[in-house]
Structure 1
Amino acid sequence: MKHTGWRKPTPGLGVAEQLAQAGERVAVPKTRAFVALKRVGAHIGLKAGDMMLLDTLGAFTQAQDWEEGQRPIVWASNAYLMEQTGFSLSALKRHARRLAEIGVISFQDSPNGKRWGRRNAEGRIVEAYGFDLSPLSARVDEFEGLHAELQAERELCQRLKRQITVARRMIRARIEAAVSSSLRGPWSQFTGLFEELLDRLPRRHEASEQLERLLLWFKELQERVEAAYLMATGATKPVENTDGKDAEVAKKTQEMNPREVISEPHILITNQLNPVISNSSEKEEAAGVVPNAPPEERVDRELEDWVAEVSKKRTALDLPTIMQACPEFASWARNMGGFLKDWGDLHRVAGQLRPMIGISEHAWNVAQDRMGTQVATAAFALVFEKHSAGEVASPGGYLRGMVEKAGAGELHLERSFYGRLRGQAA
């Protein structure tokens, strides 16, 4: 980015200038550019105020400004923009800066720092300095592709949610039926694990990876609940005939000719009690269940191993969980880095935000060496969020304490993140 002395250059502004140069080489209608951006604006970190300012700037452009070889530059004054948007001067500058850092507009500064421009007789811009909207043209295909991905992700999430709903309803029905019938089985353990999985269901934003893991756990739990239920109900023993003449009577009944007139009574033989005349104690005996018997508390070794494995998997943190649990950190991260697609982007932004809360480079390097890049990034997000909320006065000391806990095996970041999520949902 060419430094004019009026504005401090940053990597984000440099990227915006490169996008503006690329946008000058393509022809994109203004309507298409704005529609593509608005569909993904919230996802890339734009807020309502940013979109309002962008709409105001777009109203100054003309159709020919979006043709190939042209740049849609707006040179409206701050006073006019403040009047149109209702922003204060500081708010106007903040929104404009965010638009540029995210790569939606670019600044074209004049030598004297003022905005101005002129058009020829055909209405084309000959020379102008101000807000350059050319990056929108360069990123139209990117925004449209991102929108298609978001649509596919949204549909996948809806499908996964429906499957999770079916699985959890089946699990709940089986457990309630088993408990109400006093069937033997590890129902208390199943209930505890089921409730724990219910707590993990996302309340707001979610990613398909998180839902896929939850669906897998729900289906595994459903299979085990079904197996335990069938085992408990399959243990039912038929009530034996006490007179010991079942075989003889059955043989005699088979030899009876239905066309002949017989004087002997027809005897109906069954291995089950007549449900009409049997009393409750007989039903319970036929079901092989002791009345009011408590559920069996002992869990077999295989179930214990599976519960331990699922609990271990649940400790893994993902980006959506961190961003949802730490909204203040997420806002700053998106403002600094735009769309964050993976842990690498989040780690890079964490390194940029580190000096803002007073964490030294040495402390940050030690945290990465001892905890690993991913865990250190998640820990920093939590420290940043707590410091912003006034919960932590010394972020550097708090991070060092987390490093010591990690070395002793006592650091449980997932508990902190899910605890904050539960607090938001309450």
Structure 2
Amino acid sequence: MQDSTGVASFRKLTPAMMRAQQLALANDIVETSKGEVAMALKKAAPALGIDGTCYHILDILIGLTVADDWRPNRKPIVAISNEKLAEYVCRSKRTVMRCLKRLVEAGVMAYRDSPTGRRYVHRGEFHKGKLGEIERGFGFDFSPARQRVAELKELGEAFARRLKQEKDARRTVNRLLRSIEDMAVLAANEGLDFSEVLHAVNQAKDAPMGIVQKAEVMQGLYEMALGAFAAQEAECDANACSSFEETPPAGDICDTPYNNTNPQSLENISIKRRSAHADPSNHEDPDKAGIKRAFEKAPNRKVRAKSSEPSQEDKLQNISVGLLKTALTELQVTLGVEFNRWQDVTAHTTEMALLIGLSQAGLAEAEKRAGGYVAAAVLATTAEKALRDPELISSPGGYFRACIDRAMDGELALHKSLFGLANGA
């Protein structure tokens, strides 16, 4: 015999099942449509624990409902036997029964059992080519899903936000770990103490915590690593530069324009030329004499052989895409891109050249001399500095060419400037 809740006497009622039955008997019917509820159900299914075979059965049952039955004055009832469902999903009958119970307890549908346990739907006569209204129907009632359509939408959106947050957190953790590893290698090469930071990172990697919390912890460790690295770099630079107060370190990028643009009159140039040829003891070629005098002023200078010119890989030894992405924040915002791959950097060299007023011919020459990746990294660093402080570099184009010259001489430590920009960001 069927009770007032529509559940047969052979079923064992649970609190979740009773809540679903109460939603099915609600009087204030929510106005919605089959498509809207179906979309909300499919997005909220993972949050409700509906997956695998249960999701397959849910999809079949929703598809069997008639769109007109979702109107407020009707009941969206579907009638199908357990045996037929088992054939559709290629599972056993008991598996189908367990999945149906899970759907009811999830508040998606409610049982509407007949006194004999059979499931069937009797409709009225066709009207204007449409199915008639259900006069008697026993099976599964989707009224609970209709009543919860707003809640189901919120559940689906919250689940999607959580998935995106976790995905972003995983990417952040991987990116920060790579950046910290790059700093550790660089610190080992330069003899800096990085053991404390590495110990803290290893503890955070093995600690039992959520991925979002781990991303926050890794962000803090990365900032600590940047601070420690910058402090030790500053201390080393101060010690190294104490005896060279007038000249900048050869390993850093100098912001002084490399070319002398002070105008000279033709009269001064003529006087200099006459004075160079006026010395009767100067029997050598004037150019050779100038080179000789230059080496006499700097006798300890080493001449780099052409065969020992550093390769493109050597110039980028301490530079990774993660470091570029962390350091070049203003440039990425200006271009509207993210530097996730080297191709993302090299693909926007034309726009970066326009930002600093560099001609395409100058860019092509730099790429030919230093290589595409080196030229792109130097160009991006120059553009970042110019964007952060336009008054810092008087001639960004000349600054870029000077940096390329340093790179060709093996004297450009671009990673130091990038770590400084990352710390400043």
TM-score when normalising by structure 2: 0.51
Amino acid at match of 1:188: S
**Residue 240 of structure 2: which of 227, 237, 240 is its match?**
237
Aligned residue in 2 for 1:76: 80
For 1:175 and 1:98, the matched residues in 2 are separated by 52
Could you tell me how far 1:11 is from its partner in structure 2? 0.8
Amino acid at match of 2:110: S
Amino acid at match of 2:18: G
Alignment of 1:252-267 (within 5 A): 261=275
Matched, 1:98 2:102: yes
Equivalent pair of 1:178/1:229 in contact (CA under 8 Å): no
Identity of aligned residues (%): 26
Aligned residue in 2 for 1:225: 228
The worse-fitting range, judged by mean Cα deviation, of 157-166 and 83-92 is 157-166
**Residue 175 of structure 1: which of 167, 173, 184 is its match?**
184
For 1:229 and 1:126, the matched residues in 2 are separated by 83
**Residue 198 of structure 2: which of 185, 191, 199 is its match?**
191
Deviations 1:211-253 (A, max 9, x none): 5523443334333433443245335334859xxxxxxxxxxxx
Could you tell me how far 1:150 is from its partner in structure 2? 3.2
Could you tell me how far 1:167 is from its partner in structure 2? 3.2
**Aligned-residue CA RMSD in angstroms?**
3.6
Deviations 1:315-341 (A, max 9, x none): xxxxxxxxxxxxxxxxxxxxxxxxxxx
Aligned residue in 2 for 1:45: 49
Secondary structure (helix, strand or coil) at the match of 2:47 reads: coil
Equivalent pair of 2:47/2:156 in contact (CA under 8 Å): no
**Residue 107 of structure 1: which of 111, 119, 132 is its match?**
111
Inter-CA distance 63–232: structure 2 relative to 1 (3 Å threshold): same
For 2:228 and 2:27, the matched residues in 1 are separated by 58
Deviations 1:176-233 (A, max 9, x none): 11112223x2x2222222233344598xxx664x255234433343334334432453
For 1:207 and 1:70, the matched residues in 2 are separated by 46
Alignment of 1:356-395 (within 5 A): none
For 2:30 and 2:101, the matched residues in 1 are separated by 25
Amino acid at match of 1:142: E
Equivalent pair of 2:172/2:215 in contact (CA under 8 Å): no
For 1:135 and 1:274, the matched residues in 2 are separated by 87
Please say which structure displays the higher CA radius of gyration: 2
Unaligned runs of 5+ in 1: 242-256, 279-426
Matched, 1:33 2:37: yes
Amino acid at match of 1:225: A
Amino acid at match of 2:89: T
Could you tell me how far 1:158 is from its partner in structure 2? 4.3
Could you tell me how far 1:6 is from its partner in structure 2? 2.1
Aligned residue in 2 for 1:276: 302
Aligned residue in 1 for 2:423: none
Q: Size of the alignment, in residue pairs? A: 255
Unaligned runs of 5+ in 2: 127-131, 245-267, 280-289, 305-425
For 2:237 and 2:68, the matched residues in 1 are separated by 78
Alignment of 1:289-368 (within 5 A): none
Aligned residue in 1 for 2:248: none
Secondary structure (helix, strand or coil) at the match of 1:110 reads: coil
**Residue 143 of structure 1: which of 135, 138, 152 is its match?**
152
For 1:129 and 1:191, the matched residues in 2 are separated by 65
Aligned residue in 1 for 2:138: 129
